[in-house]
Structure 1
Amino acid sequence: MARLSPQELAHFRSVSAVNALIALASYAKRDLSFIPTEAKGTERWHATVGRAHFELLLLGPKFFDTRARIGGGGAIDLAIHLYGLQFKEAIALLRTRGL
């Protein structure tokens, strides 16, 4: 695996969670009926990865899994959460998905 540069790391941390989710999930759909009550601009998405189904709140690079009650920030954290990967595996996946 190619070494992770500081620029690439910063990029992965700043990618919008929506863009990362679309690239990572086999299915992803925004819930248009969702109205945020706390952070304006938050979107609720339903996604499938393998056999796992997720309900995620997304805002900028941050995500929160409403079912697992786990959150994080950046594409690396999201890949780790969705796929159960280690850090290096998540980087490799993000690279193969063109992020």
Structure 2
Amino acid sequence: MLAITRNQDFHGIVGMKSNVEINGVKICVGDIVHVGKSSNINECTNVVVIFGNKIAVMGLGATPLSHLNIISIVQSHNVLKAGDRLHNGYFDVEEFIQ
């Protein structure tokens, strides 16, 4: 099992499913998604992680995933492995040890 961390702070278990689907596929922690522009949000592509008590997209952490215009999953969480770095090194992918 893998986890996403930043400075040893926990940001989710890779593969944890959200309640949001795109093209019949559940969006999961660790997916990189493309978010379309909406009234309050600029178009962006970034990683899905946990912020506080909600699953959200990095850079849009105040907005729940379900309130975003998700256009596509750019990269699946399935390709992640321990030692990977996400968002230009902002997040680390580590083995999750219980």
TM-score, scaled to structure 1: 0.27
Is the strand fraction higher in 1 or 2?
2
Pair member with larger Rg: 1
